[in-house]
Amino acid sequence: MTSMYTTEPENEHLEDKNIQSPIRSEILNDSNTSKQEETKKIVFSNTEETKPQTKKCACPPQGTLNKYITNGVLHVTIWCAVWSVSGPHVFFDGNLFGLLITFYSAIMGGKLLELIKIPSVPQLPPLLGMLLAGFTIRNVPLFSKFVHISNKWSSTLRNSALTLILVKAGLGLDPQALKRLRKVCLRLSVGPCLMEACAAAVVSHFLMNFPWQWGFLLGFVLGAVSPAVVVPSMLLLQENGYGVEKGIPTLLVAASSLDDILAITGFSTCMSIVFSTGDILNNVAASFRNILIGVLVGTILGFFVRYVPSEDQTNLPLKRAALILSMCITAVLGSTHLGIHGAGGLCTLMLTVIGGMKWSNGKISVQKIITTAWDVFQPLLFGLVGLEVSVASLKSNAIGICVATMSLALLVRISFTFVLMSFAGFNLKEKIFIALSWMPKATVQAVLGPLALETARTSAPYLAAYSKDVMTIAFLAILITAPNGALIIDILGPRLLKRQVTQTQ
């Protein structure tokens, strides 16, 4: 019995082996044939891929050539459509023609600056090339006699650019980062801005014979740091792990928006005082009234855009971006038209901050749309700023005095920033880096600098001399601090900040 029970499984096992052997052979044969077919396919595909590469000219054109053709035809057709509506404005001496020349020249200036690559030197910001393009158009007679843009058009476009900056600042505020770093962030955004404004007011009063109200107006123009320079550099350092352990890139990104908000608010208050007639106390009261109006209207509209459009609608980010842009541009341009200086900017900030806090993850999509709009307005903004600076109208000693005023105010800012960071838990190298990286100026100066000049031309021509000096200092501040600030951040960041090493490294 035992032999019967033992032999049957063995036979079954042998049968299984006999059955499995042809199956394995078939599988092996199939795998070999499949491998051969795969190799044939790979060889065949490689030969197919290499064949088109021998053709250098494709018809119809593809790739970069097709992209350039598309953009060129698109721009020509847009020009023809505008010509059919506006008529002579698109020809020589017309506003649209001047805007197109300024826009494309600024884009070319930014691209040319990107092509300039010096070994071991970081990339310069493209906005510097845009600024120099406008400056070249204004001061080269061959170009300047064909480019004419009315003050109204220029002022409207710069105010629209200011609106985009405020929208980006409001949406860019990170509530979690502000909550975690609220003490240091508030200290860094408020202290250096106010100290530089006060220093600029004192220096300009004694060195340039500015009245005190004009000195503080100049101070708030200079007091703003540029997110267009600071934020990309900080994000690059953060990606590489520099300063992440103590949150230095996050701190500077969050504080840059608050710094701009404070500078724009202070500038608007000084503008209402400078260009108002009557008692100083009444002007101050009117400034606080404008602030309350802006905050109140912005708060109401902010709660409105939280729920309109609703979450169930299609193309939600596009509708939200279009709604807040239309509201904010109307608020800024409308408040300027009504003489309520500063109310439109504060309305924009309150609207975007309150509305964006409810959108959670959807805010990122809205920010991308706003960034796309900013990419269009940025060349116009810096090109128009460059157009405002004429070398022929400058006094012989104006540049030296302006540079001295800006440099002394900036030195006070850097020193005070270092002192404020001494009580925030940073070591010596980190304090030096934060103080030096808090100097670049660009976007806010490009918007606020010409505003005083535009207002003086329309309402108070006798104040044009002061406003031209403010414009010149703003131009020089961008020209000097933007490239140097970007270089300082990119060079000193890896040398002064501690790098956080991940576990995979």
State residue 39's pLDDT score.
47
User: What is the average pLDDT across 97-108?
Assistant: 90
pLDDT of residue 57: 57
Inform me whether the pLDDT recorded for 42 exceeds 50. Answer: no
The CATH code for residues 165-496 is 1.20.1530.20
Q: Which residues of 119-145 are buried (b: 16+ CB within 10 A; e: fewer)?
A: eeebebbbbbbbbbbbbbbbeeeeeee
Residue with the bigger pLDDT between 22 and 464: it is 464
* Per-residue pLDDT tens over the stretch 152-177: 888 888 889 889 988 988 887 777 77
Q: Residue 90 and residue 76: Cα distance in Å, rounded?
A: 12
In the structure, what pLDDT confidence band is assigned to residue 346 with cuts at 50, 70 and 90? Answer: confident
> In degrees rounded to 5, what are phi and psi of residue 499?
-95, 130
* Exposure letters 53-89 (e unless 16+ CB within 10 A, then b): eeeeeeeeeeeeeeeeeeeeeeeeeeeeeebeeeeeb
Q: Which two tokens stand for residue 495?
A: 């040398």
Residue 411: its pLDDT value, please? Answer: 96
Q: Tell me what pLDDT residue 80 has.
A: 83
399: nearest Cα among 457, 451, 477, 454 = 477
Asked which of 66-75, 275-284, 361-370 is least confident by mean pLDDT, the reply is 275-284
pLDDT at 228: 82
Could you tell me which of 261, 266, 239 has the C-alpha nearest to residue 250?
239
Token representation of residue 357: 């806090």
In the chain, how long is the greatest CA-to-CA distance?
125
- List the chain domain ranges: 165-496
Per-residue pLDDT, 18: 45
Question: Distances from the Cα of 82 to the Cαs of 85, 96, 201, 375, 383, in angstroms?
Answer: 5, 9, 46, 21, 21
Residues in CB range of 222: below 8 A, 6 or more apart: 196, 197, 200, 406, 409, 410, 441, 445, 473, 474, 477
pLDDT value at residue 336 = 81
Q: Is the pLDDT of residue 461 over 80?
A: yes
Confidence check: pLDDT of 473 > 60: yes
**Is residue 211 predicted with pLDDT exceeding 50?**
yes
Nearest residue to 297 via CA among 355, 357, 346? 346
> Exposed, middle or buried by CB within 10 Å (0-12, 13-18, 19+), for 353?
buried
Name the least confident of 111-115, 172-176, 259-263. 172-176
pLDDT more than 90, % of the chain: 36
pLDDT above 70: residue 31 = no
Average pLDDT over residues 302-319: 92
How large a percentage of the chain has pLDDT more than 70?
86
- Give the pLDDT confidence score for residue 9 in this predicted structure: 44
What radius of gyration do the chain's Cα atoms show?
31
Cα dihedral 417, 348, 232, 263, rounded to 10, equals: -20
Q: Which helix (H) or strand (E) holds 471?
A: helix 464-496
- Cα 296 from Cα 334, distance rounded (Å): 16
- Higher pLDDT: 312 or 26? It is 312
**What pLDDT is recorded for position 116?**
84
Please state, in angstroms and rounded to a whole number, the distance separating the CA atoms of residues 182 and 180: 6
Taking CA atoms, 19 is separated from 9, 12, 24, 33, 396, in Å, by: 15, 10, 9, 22, 103
pLDDT band at 20 (very low <50, low <70, confident <90, very high): very low
Mean pLDDT, the chain, rounded, equals 82
pLDDT of residue 24: 43
Q: Closest Cα to residue 484, out of 131, 230, 200?
A: 230
User: Does the pLDDT at position 12 exceed 70?
Assistant: no
For 291-304, what is each residue's pLDDT tens digit?
A: 899 999 999 999 99
The mean pLDDT value for 246-269 works out to: 86
Angle at 335 between CA 333 and CA 338, to 5 degrees: 110
* Confidence band, pLDDT 50/70/90 cuts, at residue 398: confident
